[in-house]
Amino acid sequence: MSLALQALVNGLISGTLLAVPAIGFTAMFAVLRFPNFSVSGIATLGAFAGYAAYAAGLELIGSLVAAFAVAGLVGLALDRTAHLPLVKQGALPAAIASIASGLVLENVIRLGFGNDLRGFDRPIARDLHVGDIRVSPQQLETMGLALAIMLAVFAALAFTRIGKAMRASADNPELAALKGIRPQRVAMIASFVGMGLVGIGGMLLGLDSSIDPLTGARILLSIFAAAVLGGLGSVPGAVLGAFLIGIAEELSVLVVGSPYRTAVGFLAILVVLTARPRGLLGERAF
């Protein structure tokens, strides 16, 4: 029993980390209306940008900011040049172009850094024991950072003008435009912030393990699973989905063995979508 409880705690922790890129992905979907597959490349890019900043002597927070900024800017540039011009033909061409630009990023990073593994030089400490359950102080720290970022996103969406504008144009672009919200600007901010969050996610997930050009590709399906489970385009849905996927993936280790981890996420999607074709929380952005 305590094994399952421990798995639950582990799942909550990894779910928190997963939530950050999942929010980014789903927020972009809410505004731009296509599934942006380049998140795999962007997550890797964020991880490498954060790594470079950290190696150059920046603190953790500073490195996260660097990951956010680089991933956001590059993501924005890709959206502008490669993806969004295709959206008028439908979501699919844009999605396919984004698969290609994810590949472009992966290989640009490979051109520059090679395939070598790199790791953040962070202290590794023994776990803290709370009763039968153990948690690692580092993971608590990363989890805290992830939670703070999520809170900031929610606050921004709820209280700032641009946040409100984003929600408005996600729910009803025409109405939002009538109200004087410039869709172009909202789209650009969605790209920048969404991709930035994905970049931070890549770095957060790389903090504890190691990074290489395939870092993003390894977490791509989990990000998608989280966003789809919660309802594509719903920010709270992405958070809920991320927790559920995180927990399901850890519990699956005990039940079917960890090789089928991805399959568990996929099955969860199928089950939920059969009952609720628009995901758990529907598609309202907020």
Partner 1 sequence: MLNYLLFIATIGSIYGLLALSLNLIWGGAGMVNLGLAGFFAVGAYASALATTDAHLPIVAGWILALAAGGLAGLVVTLSTTRLREDYLAIVTLGFAEVVRLVAANEVWLTRGTDGISGIPGPWKALLGSDFNAVYLLIVLTILALVFLLMRRIDRSPYGRVLRAIREDAQVAQVAGKPVLRFKAEAFALSAGIAGLAGALYGHFTSYIAPDLFLPLITVYVFLAVAGGGTGRPAGALIGAYLLMVLLESARFLVELVPVISAVQRAALKELIIAVALILVLRLAPGGLLSERVPAAPRLPMEGKS
Partner 2 sequence: MKRVTLRRRTALLSGVAALAAPAVLRAQSDPIKIATLTPLTGAGGPYGPVMAKVAASVVDEVNAAGGVLGRRIQLTSEDDQTNPDAGVRAARKLIDVDKVAAIMGTWASSVTTAVAPLCWESKTFLCTVSGADSITQLPHQGFLVRTQPNSTLQVARSGTFMLSLGAKKIYTMIPQTPFTQTTFDLMGKLVAKAGATHQGLIYDDKKTTYRTEVDQVLRSNPDMIFAAGYTPDTIILLKDLYRAGFKGKIIGFGYAINQKLVDQIGQPEVVEGVYAYSPSPDEGSKAYERVKKATGLANPDPYTCQVYDHVNLVLMAIAQGKAATGVGIKDNIRAVAQGGGTAVDNAVDGLKAIAAGQKVDYSGASGPCDFDDKGDIIDCKFRYDQIKGGKFTLVKIG
> Under the rule (CB under 8 A), what is the footprint of partner 2?
3, 6-7, 10-11, 13-14, 110, 114-119, 121-127, 134, 136, 205-206, 208-210, 212-214, 218-219, 249-251, 253-254, 257-262
The entry of partner 2, partner 1, none near residue 52 (CB within 5 to 8 angstroms by kind) is none
- Cβ at position 186, least distance to partner 1 in Å: 20
Give whichever of 117 and 151 is closer to partner 2, judged by the CB atom: 117
**Own/partner long-range contacts of 215-218 (Cβ < 8 Å, ≥24 apart):** 215/43, 215/44, 215/47, 216/39, 216/40, 216/41, 216/42, 216/43, 216/44, 216/45, 216/47, 216/102, 216/106, 217/40, 217/44, 217/102, 217/106
Distance of alpha carbon 262 from alpha carbon 102, whole angstroms: 20
- Cβ at position 280, least distance to partner 2 in Å: 24
Using rule CB under 8 A, residue 82 touches partner 1: yes
Using rule CB under 8 A, residue 214 touches partner 1: no
- What secondary structure, in 3-state letters, does 99-162 show? HHHHHHHHHHHHHHHCCCCECCCCCCCCCEEECCEEECHHHHHHHHHHHHHHHHHHHHHHHCHH
Using rule CB under 8 A, residue 140 touches partner 1: no
Give the residues lining the site for partner 1 (CB under 8 A): 29, 34-35, 82, 85-86, 89-93, 95-97, 99-101, 103-104, 106-108, 110-111, 114-115, 221, 224-225, 228, 232, 257, 259-260, 262-263, 265-266, 269-270, 273-274, 277
